[in-house]
Amino acid sequence: MSIQKARPLASLHDMDLVSLSVAGGRAAFGELVRRHGPGVRGLLRRIGAEPDLADDVAQDAFLTAFEQIAEFRGDGSFAGWVKRIAVRLHIRRWKKDRRLDLVAETPEPVWDGSEQPGDSTSQARHMDLDTALAALSPAERACVSLCFGAGMSHAEAAEALNIPLGTVKSHVKRGLERLKHQLAPNAEARSEQDAHG
């Protein structure tokens, strides 16, 4: 009887599944895909990829991860490792499609920063990140997602995007300011007020 049949894969820790995958266990790797597929696909969409493109890149990222699984040492989480692979693949496509210039320079945000967000952290769980990210410029969205979604440092993001470190920092700073505004607990109410004049 194989190990997989003796122990249900769903109950295994990521590192156990990685060990099985290193030995060629496709079923074990499939379980990792089930666990972390939504996270990887979600991150790519949050960076700004269309859903179909995000899924294609996520698939490629998991296939690459399977090929390179022996190189995963477990220093960080498996999800984080695959996310970084996915982000790099996505950026490579971005460069290929010559859309990286979207990230290089962007106009100043429309929001004037006059309103301050609330202080209640308890309501943070109600934040709608995807809606808030949609309000950011492509550059801000990419930089914030790389740093907070893929766990990259500013320097790593700058290297991945092939843009100056200072540009990444300013995109992240502006993006955070806008997100803070968008994700404020009373943002929804404020938006409605704005809509009504």
Partner 1 sequence: MADHDFKYQLERLFNTPPSLADSEAFALRVEARLAKGWQMRNLVLGASGLIGGLIAVRQAMGLNLYGRLEAFSGLEARQALAGFAHWTPSHLGLPLWPFGGEAIWMSGGLMILAIGFALIRLLEEV
Which amino acid is present at 21? S
Pick 2 or 11: Cβ nearer partner 1: 2
Q: Interface with partner 1 includes 42 (CB under 8 A)? A: yes
Smallest gap from Cβ 68 to partner 1, in A, equals 13
Of residues 1 and 195, the one with the C-beta less far from partner 1? 1
Out of 103, 160, 161, 179, name the contact with partner 1 by CB under 8 A. Answer: 179
Neighbouring C-beta atoms of residue 129, cutoff 10 Å: 15
Among residues 55, 64, 93, 102, which is the contact residue for partner 1, using CB under 8 A? Answer: 55
Please choose, out of 58-66, 105-113, 152-160, 162-170, the segment that lies near partner 1 by the rule CB under 8 A: 58-66
33 part of the interface to partner 1, by CB under 8 A: yes
**Total residues belonging to the chain:** 197
- Rounded CA separation 169/70 (Å): 34
- C-alpha distances out from residue 105 to 11, 76, 109, 112, 142, Å: 46, 32, 12, 19, 12
Q: Select the residue interacting with partner 1 from 20, 49, 82, 160 (CB under 8 A).
A: 20
10 Å Cβ neighbour count for 2?
A: 9
190 binds partner 1 per the rule CB under 8 A = no
**What span, in angstroms and rounded, lies between the C-alpha atoms of 32 and 15?**
10
102 makes contact with partner 1 (CB under 8 A): no
Q: Which residues fall within 8 angstroms of residue 179, CB to CB, at 6 or more apart?
A: 132, 133, 136, 144
- Write down the residue that tokens 């498996």 correspond to: 78
User: Can you give the binding site for partner 1, defined by CB under 8 A?
Assistant: 2-3, 20, 23-27, 29-30, 33-34, 36-39, 41-43, 45-46, 55, 58-59, 62-63, 66, 117-121, 124, 127, 129-130, 144-145, 148-149, 176, 179-180, 183-184
